[in-house]
């Protein structure tokens, strides 16, 4: 009988054969044995079992450059701590996430990241949901050892129609660059200079105006990139999240709408961390994938609250024609 390929014929029609289970490997994390599918990123494996390994540059939907060095762990047989975001799990691997050397290296890297970082938390839009703020209180929470002299960089840089950049807040994690390169497939952001003068900027002759530019605000772990329509509008703890559907086209992409009271301010896709390919599904589609929403879908949802208010006020102020009302009947007494 000829091979039917990935489909097996059962009854009257072809039925897709079930996929084989993934190959599992055994990893010892902090003295406890766990099993994970082969190829799992070590950082995800450690955090899945509650190790709480910090990170800045890693994002599940993007490649891993291992530039922040905040996720270092000790692996048996390695001469020095390794970046867990760049290391796949292997069978019989032994990992120590809370060894004295790993904890000390993380504190040193966090202090190095904070050396020139401005104290903008009282006015930063990212306050309350900032990874740098969280890791500082979780891992260090010590006063700075420098004398307060920091490298000055540009504070308000208009890099596109929707985005404002604060170069002093940028921790050089390159998440936004990878969004442009891998999702939008347009190299519009890059690093310039070197050392403590290194800054994030646009490529020569370019602006950050690709259809997925607002995703750079979502993935930024600090408040370096802010959306113009949301900048200085409200605090993160004043918002709540609700499930919604993108209204831009008939595709019906699921997304999360982040709201304060009733007006909708900003929108993000529900599964944007999965990192599916950003293949276009048509000019009218505002999402183009279930992972990375396009700017047009966000802007249409963000302006919907204001448009509803305008339409309601015009409706109430307009003189209603008498034909809208049914004739009034009076019952005989």
Tell me the per-residue pLDDT of 221-232, one tens digit each, with 9 for 90 and over. 999 999 988 888
Residues of the chain with CATH 3.30.70.20: 117-233
The pLDDT tens digits of the residues spanning 2-20 come to: 555 555 555 555 666 777 8
Q: Does pTM top 0.85 for this prediction?
A: no
Mean pLDDT of 304-310: 49
Residues of the chain with CATH 3.10.20.740: 24-114
Those residues whose C-beta lies under 8 Å from the C-beta of residue 99, and which sit 6 or more positions away, are 74
Q: What CATH fold (topology level) applies to the domain 117-233?
A: Alpha-Beta Plaits (3.30.70)
Domain 24-114, CATH class in plain words: alpha beta
The position carrying tokens 């993934």 is: 22
Long-range contacts of 229-238 (CB under 8 A, 24+ apart): 229/162, 229/265, 229/266, 229/299, 229/302, 230/125, 230/265, 230/266, 231/125, 231/164, 232/123, 232/125, 233/265, 234/260, 234/265, 235/127, 235/128, 236/125, 236/126, 236/127, 236/128, 236/129, 237/128
pLDDT band at 22 (very low <50, low <70, confident <90, very high): confident
């Amino acid at each position: 009988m000829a091979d039917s390929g990935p489909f097996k014929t059962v009854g009257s029609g072809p039925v897709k054969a079930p996929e084989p289970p993934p190959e599992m490997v055994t990893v010892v994390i902090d003295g406890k044995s766990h099993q994970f599918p082969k190829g799992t990123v070590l950082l995800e494996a450690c955090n899945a079992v509650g190790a709480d390994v910090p990170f800045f540059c890693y994002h599940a939907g993007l490649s891993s450059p291992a530039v922040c060095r905040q996720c270092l762990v000790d692996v048996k047989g390695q001469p020095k701590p390794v970046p867990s975001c760049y290391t796949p799990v292997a069978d019989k691997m032994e990992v120590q996430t809370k060894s004295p050397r790993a904890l000390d290296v993380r504190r040193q890297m966090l202090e190095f990241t904070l050396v020139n970082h401005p104290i903008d938390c009282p006015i930063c839009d990212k306050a309350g949901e900032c990874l740098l703020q969280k890791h500082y209180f979780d891992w260090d929470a010590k006063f700075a050892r420098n004398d307060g002299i920091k490298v000055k960089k540009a504070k308000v840089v208009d890099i596109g129609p929707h985005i404002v950049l604060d170069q002093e807040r940028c921790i050089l994690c390159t998440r936004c660059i990878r969004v442009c390169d891998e999702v939008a497939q347009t190299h519009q952001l890059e690093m310039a200079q070197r050392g403590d003068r290194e800054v994030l900027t646009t490529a020569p002759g370019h602006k950050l105006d690709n259809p997925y530019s607002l995703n750079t605000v979502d993935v930024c772990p600090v408040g370096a990139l802010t959306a113009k329509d949301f900048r200085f509008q409200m605090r993160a703890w004043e918002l709540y999240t609700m499930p919604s559907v993108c209204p831009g086209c008939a595709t019906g992409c699921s997304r999360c709408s982040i709201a304060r009271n009733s007006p909708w301010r900003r929108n993000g896709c529900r599964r944007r961390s999965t990192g599916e390919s950003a293949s276009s599904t048509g000019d009218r589609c505002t999402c183009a994938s279930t992972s990375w929403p396009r700017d047009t879908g966000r802007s249409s949802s963000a302006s919907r609250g204001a448009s509803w208010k305008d339409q309601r006020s015009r409706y109430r102020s307009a003189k209603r024609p008498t034909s809208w009302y049914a004739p009034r009947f009076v019952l005989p007494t």
